[in-house]
Amino acid sequence: MEIVLTINGKKTRAEAGTSETLLDLLRRLGYKSVKYGCGEGFCGACTVIMDGRPVNSCLVPAVTAGGREVITVEHLGTPQKPHPLQEAFVEAGAVQCGFCTPGMILSAKALLDKKSNPSEEEIREALDGNLCRCTGYVQIVEAVQLAAKRMKEKKRKREKKIK
Amino acid sequence: MNNKQKFSEVGRSVRKVDAMGLATGRAKFTDDYEMPGMLHAKLLRSPHAHARIRSIRTAKARALPGVAAVLTYKDVPRVPFTTAGQGYPEPSPYDDFILDDKVRFVGDKVALVAAETDEIAGEALKLIEVEYEELPAVLDPRKAMRSSAPVIHDEKECYIAIPVPYEPERNRAARVEAVVGNVEKGVMEAEVAVEDEFENQTASHSALEPHCALSWLDENDRLNIISSTQVPYHARRIVSRALQIPVKRIRVIKPRLGGGFGGKQEVLLEPYVGILTLKTGRPVKMRLTRKEVFTSARVRHNMITKVQVAARKDGELTAIDLYALSNTGAYGTHGLTVASNVGTRTLTMFRCPNMRFSSDVVYTNLSVSGAYRGYGGTQGILATAITMDDLAERLGMDPVDFYLKNIIGGGAEVPILKELGEGPVLGQPRVSSCELAACIKAGMEAIGWKKKRGRPGGGRFRRGIGMSVMMQGSSIPYIDMGSAFIKMNDDGSFNLLMGATDIGQGSDTVLAQMAAEVLTVKTDDIIVYSSDTDLTPFDVGAYASSTTYLSGAAVKQTAEKVREQILHVGAALLNTTPGKVHLSGGCVIGPGGKSVTLKEVGTSSLYEKDQFQISASASSISHESPPPFAAHFVEVEVDRATGKVRVLEYVQAVDCGTPINPVLARGQAIGALINGISYALVEQYIYNSKGAMLNPGYGYYKIFCTKDIPKITTIFVPSYEPTGPFGAKSVGEVCISGPLPAISNAIYDAVDVRLHRTPFTPDKVLEAIHARRRG
Amino acid sequence: MKLPNIKKVSYPESTAEAVAILSDEKRNAVPLSGGVSFIFASTAGVEELVCLNRLPLRYIKKKNGGLLVGATTLVSELVEAGAVGSYADGILREAARRVGSTLNRNLITVGGSLVQPFIWSDLPAVALAMGAKIRIQGKKSRTIDAEKFYARPPRQLLKGGDLVTEVLFPAPPPGSRAAYRKFALTENDFAILKVAILLSRRKRLCREITVAVGGATVLPQRTPMAEAALRGKQASQVLVNEASELAAEEIKVSRDMRCSNDYKRELCRVMVRAILEEILLDQKVAEWKLF
């Protein structure tokens, strides 16, 4: 079934298989940062931001993804020009095996887009659907705090310049 | 501490070398690789715990369009092997076959399919017609060795390749016995003795990446396999045996790995994709579903442990007697070695003249056990640390004081290791560095032990505090080997090629730091490539907490050899002799401060004069397995109305020698700890009466999420291991073993009941509270 | 997820259009809202998916002191809406907050959660306790009380083309108190048990009370004996204890692999008692200690 959706800002025409999930479709299209971890919406390895909210792409039938706006971690930054969250994850030791990392970062981005100064509790809440077995989460939460702090400082500097 | 030097790259939290690739989604895991013409493989799984295949018909499945191959036991070599990726010859029995006419647990493999798509492969499985003759099953390890029990491995081919007891006719996969002194005499000498029994539950590693493998034949007809493996070299050797093709025809490549924790120290998929590629000539990929990871991959050994500890009135231990009945499940992978580690990881810690450890490892028709972070230490420390808490109480002693009186210190001789070690022991085994006492003191201080202990408060919610001590090893002495190869480039950078297997823990980074330290460059001047059996030198792989210690030593020696060559070239460029120059800050410095940069050295060696490749290789085996130690302290609150246990605060103090990369070491310690707390409180396999797992998914098999994490403090006490590279020993596993007993002890402090069976779920805790009330 | 016979996905923009498609038996169409329950559902016969996300049903409105919630409203929107937080002591917000994980709440819709209750669903118990009114549009549009809606698996009520479009959470009576508590092994685990209670009181006089227990069976259930024990009575610790014991006895419990039925009953007793102590007897309990 042919659908048209927007992936990382790019309008994409794709053939959606009838037993495919959005996760399957994205991986087939080459967005390999979206991972299969459980296929039941519990682990968050397949997290994408869909229409502004982070969701389990393994729970979305691909045929229903038409018209959606989907963002994967490939869209956030590159190794040369990383997103502040990617930078902070690397620095704070929030990346161990890295399998959960794209999903974690997307959940964190969706949070920071809404709330520039989240409390630790809000960070934990926002990441509660992204399982990680390596880190014990402590350094991940620290990374989000670090990124939030830096993004705020950057914004302040930018605003100062404009003034 | 001795020999402590000032390091520049070691001991610094440099960025994890692969982290940015992972954080930007660029890094590739096995499942992210595709090949043109690739087939997708699936295994048909047994619905029965124990059955013989009477007939198996595949015609319909083969006829399904898009199906490329359907294999049954009739189509594959019948060679017994073990999936356990261990040193050769493996200490695990050769009791498994690629496919067999018998199934031994629910989820065991029955038939193998390759098809154009994953979906077609799934459809084909449904078309395979199997007629089973159900056999009586062993679903309780306590009943496995009874004469009436059905024999699970009645095939004539199974055997173990090393000289140890193996009695499949009694469902006994291994037996361990080790004694020092005389335990009965020790108990007689004691004024107080405590006996108790414990049982820990089966659990899943839950690496976020499910197992995956991809194989293809290259232009030279060699079998290439990309695999999510912790043990590429063992995988190559085991595939060679299982498929009966020579090692030289196989290449195993490890890409980024999504966690292992021991679960990927098993060769579970490589033989299957391999045989399908050989049969079809096409690339084949197989990725387990999460459900299959739960039902058909490996689990932590469920054990029933019995322990007796005895002491004089003054608290001095006189005897420790520990027995473990270990449930290895349907196959004996890691059966012997995990069992022996139950003894090693507990008895080593104590100065006690009379100690005994024994174990029976039994087959059952349940999930197959294997290596799991903690590796027997978790089970042993559960038993001993709760019993010692009990003993201390009966002695009227604070457990802290009891431990301080009885634990070993640095330089201690450990005679029990002579009886229990996995490898040959030359001379008297000893422990060089041990800061366990410092760990205990630092931990109790940080949590406020003295003022919190024994003050549960009143009412529905009671508070308690508990502790445990633990240890692990660092490599398997005289058995494990790691090696590395370094070559120098013209810009003064280096390629570090090694078999050491980064599975997410950060060994690429830690080992690069070591090379950088020796070569006086920055870590990002070291280009790391790890674990490709064609390109990197041998390493046993990521297990037994060996990488930093053992592979680290190999990297350090390799770098030192390279440094010698650099000094030669540098000296020539400076018109002096190698003895008069030294390497510092990325320059060869000669008399009078004249210097050349590494770039000049590299360029000269490759292009200018007496050209040669500056390069070296070195190997390392270990002679000791220096234990990292830890002391854990936990404060809990128990709801006496519901039985729910909430961890309020957790303090762990760790002795891992020099943390090569403190941020990564902290990540290891916390990661292991949270896995341990999650295991202690919520994780468990639930089986029905037919041996089928009822909760093979994260819906009903819960692991902790961000919101479940208590306040955690991790302290690294100053320590230096003289036999380790830059004073390092391991840190990957040790901290997983503390939570079970520490939390149980804290529950006891809070509500006066001792929990013996894990996990400490609310229903179990409430039942214990009620039982106590009933008297 | 398998939709082997799917031929079409339609995106109706009005409820009438959706109902028309769904009621056409030849089309073998099923509605899809958040889609989360699809991985659990049998979908072999489905030929058409009717995506509801373009229907004008994504809203939360205040209505006469109550809340009118459109069926395709996301559970996370319930959590975020100020109106939900201030409604009935935040009972609906608390239940919504405890639905699965953040990622799940961004997919699960209010309508889907009400129509397709699983033993772990959080919203049905609150709907039952609050006496929610569920609006169904179809050939015969109607509004059904939560009590009737959950007397049987709700899908049995829905005939071809019927669509749950809206739910009204009515204004709580004056002097009312309400609370929802969930007991689970981990923070976002499926509940072992949950209890929602709405009561109205004058000082200690309990005038009206509804106790809804979820997680004991697939459908949420009221506890009429416990309610009767308190209704119209001067509340006391003794009475609260009695009522919670009655609740524990009278609930139906189906097998849960994680614990015994007896444990669930005990949990029911403890939870009903604790909530009543809090909202009827005004005993103070630190919030994080509740469950």
Cis geometry, peptide bond prior to residue A54 (ω within 30 degrees of 0): no
Distance between CA atoms of residues B281 and B272, nearest Å: 13
* Tens-place pLDDT, residues B747-769: 999 999 999 999 999 999 999 99
DSSP code, position B214: E
Q: Is A141 in Cβ contact with B23 (below 8 Å)?
A: no
| Set of chain B residues whose Cβ sits within 8 Å of the Cβ of C260 | 763
From 3.30.70, 3.30.43, 3.30.1380, 3.30.1560, which CATH number describes the C8-51 domain?
3.30.43
The answer to whether the Cβ–Cβ distance between C49 and A41 falls below 8 Å is no
Q: A161 to chain B, minimum CA–CA distance in Å? A: 29
Confidence of residue B151 (pLDDT cuts 50, 70, 90): very high
Structure tokens that stand for C111 in this block: 């309508």
Query: Cα(B539)–Cα(B619) distance, rounded to whole angstroms?
Result: 9
Determine contact, residues B425/B416, Cβ cutoff 8 Å: no
Indicate if the pLDDT at residue B490 is higher than 70.
yes
| Beta carbons of A128 and B257 less than 8 Å apart | no
pLDDT for B455-478, tens place per residue?
Answer: 999 999 999 999 999 999 999 998
Q: Tell me the shortest Cα–Cα distance from A160 to chain C, in angstroms.
A: 32
**What is the separation of C-alpha B735 from the centre of its chain, rounded to a whole number of angstroms?**
12
Return the CATH class of domain B302-476+624-774: alpha beta
Backbone dihedral region for residue B674 (phi beyond 0: left; psi -120 to 50: alpha; all else: beta)? alpha
CA-to-CA distance for B493 and B488, rounded, in angstroms?
Answer: 6
Angle between helices B399-406 and B436-447 (to 10 degrees): 170
The rounded average pLDDT for each run of 10 residues, N- to C-terminus, in chain C (291 residues) is 85 96 93 82 84 96 97 97 97 96 97 90 96 96 97 90 96 95 93 97 96 96 98 97 98 96 97 96 72 63
pLDDT reported for residue B426: 67
Chain A, chain B: beta-carbon pairs less than 8 Å apart: 181
Domain ranges within chain B, ordered by starting residue: 19-27+481-621, 33-135+208-259+264-296, 302-476+624-774
> In the prediction, which pLDDT does B92 show?
97
**What CATH number should be reported for the domain whose range is A84-162?**
1.10.150.120
Neighbours of chain A (3+ CB pairs under 8 A): B, C
Average pLDDT score over residue span B214-241: 98
Beta strands in B384-480 (DSSP E): 412-413, 430-431, 461-471
Per DSSP, the residues of B58-104 read: -HHHHHSTTEEEEE-GGGS----B--B--SSS-SS-B-B-SS-SEE-
Per-domain residue ranges of chain C: 8-51, 60-169, 176-284
Best residue in B17, B22, B716 for a mutation probing chain A (most A CBs within 10 Å): B22
Relative orientation angle of helices A84-92 and A138-162, to the nearest 10 degrees = 140
Is A132 a residue whose pLDDT tops 90? yes
Q: Please state which of the four CATH numbers 3.90.1170.50, 3.50.50.60, 2.40.110.10, 3.40.50.720 is assigned to the domain occupying B33-135+208-259+264-296.
A: 3.90.1170.50
CB contact under 8 A, A40 and C39: yes
Which residues in A lie closer than 8 A to residue C101 (C-beta atoms)?
Answer: 42, 44, 128-129
Backbone φ/ψ region at A67: left (φ over 0), alpha (ψ -120 to 50), beta: left
Q: At the top level of CATH, which class does the domain A2-75 belong to?
A: alpha beta
pLDDT score for B330: 98
Q: Is the pLDDT of residue A64 over 70?
A: yes
CA–CA separation, C278 vs B610, rounded Å? 87
Asked if B694's CB is within 8 angstroms of C188's CB, the reply is: no
At C40 the pLDDT is 67
Q: What is the pLDDT of residue C34?
A: 87
Within 10 angstroms of residue B266's Cβ, the number of other Cβ atoms is 29
Within 8 A of B694 by CB-CB distance, chain C residues are 257
Percent of chain B residues past pLDDT 90, beyond the cut: 96
Q: Give chain A's largest Cα–Cα span.
A: 54
Put simply, whether C270 touches B (Cβ < 8 Å) is: yes
- Region class of B545: left (phi > 0), else alpha (psi between -120 and 50), else beta: left
pLDDT (tens digit per residue) in B274-328: 999 999 999 999 999 999 999 999 999 999 999 999 999 999 999 999 999 999 9
**Each residue of B340-397: pLDDT tens digit?**
999 999 999 999 999 999 999 999 999 999 999 999 999 999 999 999 999 999 999 9
B658 with B717: CB under 8 angstroms? Answer: no
Please report the pLDDT score of residue B4 as a whole number: 52
Half-sphere exposure (Cβ direction) of B498: Cα atoms closer than 13 Å? 42
The third-level CATH classification (topology) of the domain covering C60-169 is 3.30.465
- Out of C4, C103, C188, closest to residue A19 by CB: C4
Q: What whole-number percentage of chain C has pLDDT above 70?
A: 96
CATH topology of domain C176-284: Enolase-like; domain 1 (3.30.390)
Q: Given this model, what pLDDT does residue B1 score?
A: 40
Average pLDDT over residues B537-564: 97
Name chain A contacts of B120, Cβ cutoff 8 Å: none
Contact C266 B766 (CB under 8 A): yes
d(CA A121, CA A126): 9
Q: State the greatest distance between any 2 C-alpha atoms of chain B, in Å, as a whole number.
A: 89
- Say if the Cβ atoms of B22 and A137 lie within 8 Å: no
d(CA C263, CA B225): 50
Residue-level pLDDT at A161: 85
Cross-chain residue pair C185–B642, CB shorter than 8 Å: no
Per CATH, B33-135+208-259+264-296 and B302-476+624-774 having the same topology is answered no
- Classify residue C281 as exposed, middle or buried by CB count within 10 Å of its CB (0-12, 13-18, 19+): middle
Instruction: Give the one of B23, B26, B674 whose C-beta lies nearest to A137's C-beta.
Output: B674
- Strand C29-32 with C48-51, pairing: parallel
- Separation between Cα atoms, residue B575 and residue B344, nearest integer Å: 56
Instruction: Supply B324's token pair.
Output: 């473990």
Instruction: Give the distance from residue C106's alpha carbon to the nearest chain A alpha carbon, in angstroms.
Output: 6
Tokens of B702: 């819960």
Q: How distant is the Cα of A138 from the closest Cα of chain B, in angstroms?
A: 8
Residue C185: list chain B partners with CB under 8 A: 681-682, 702, 761-762
Chain C residues within 8 A of A56 when measuring between CB atoms? 103-104, 107
Q: How far apart are CA B192 and CA B298, in angstroms?
A: 40
Paired tokens of B151: 């024999």
Query: How many beta carbons lie within 10 A of that of residue A157, not counting itself?
Result: 10
Q: Is C212:C197 a contact under the CB 8 Å cutoff?
A: yes
Residue by residue, DSSP assigns C14-56 as: SHHHHHHHHH-GGG-EEEESS-GGGGGS--TT--EEEE-TTSS
Question: End-to-end alpha-carbon separation of chain C, Å?
Answer: 34
Per-residue pLDDT tens over the stretch B26-60: 999 999 999 999 999 999 999 999 999 999 999 99
**Contact across the interface for A90 and B20, Cβ inside 8 Å:** yes
State both tokens at C29: 């169409």
Average pLDDT over residues B590-601: 97
Q: Residue A163's pLDDT is what?
A: 74
Report, in angstroms and rounded to the nearest whole number, the Rg of chain B calculated over CA atoms. 27
Kindly list the domain boundaries of chain A, sorted by start residue. Answer: 2-75, 84-162
**Contact call for A79 and B21, based on CB within 8 A:** yes
| B687 touches C at CB < 8 Å | no
Q: What angle do helix axes B662-681 and B739-751 make, rounded to 10 degrees?
A: 50
Q: Residue B424's pLDDT band (boundaries 50, 70, 90)?
A: low
B19-27+481-621 is classed in which CATH architecture? 2-Layer Sandwich (3.30)
Residue closest to B463 by CA, chosen among B772, B703, B752: B752
User: Are C188 and A39 inside 8 Å of each other by CB?
Assistant: no
Q: Taking a C-beta distance cutoff of 8 angstroms, is the pair C127, C114 a contact?
A: yes
- Alpha-carbon span B762 to B220, nearest angstrom: 59
Chain C residues with a Cβ under 8 Å from any Cβ in chain A: 1-6, 8-9, 11, 32, 34-36, 38-39, 49, 51, 74, 76, 100-104, 106-107, 187-188
Mean of pLDDT values over A80-101: 98
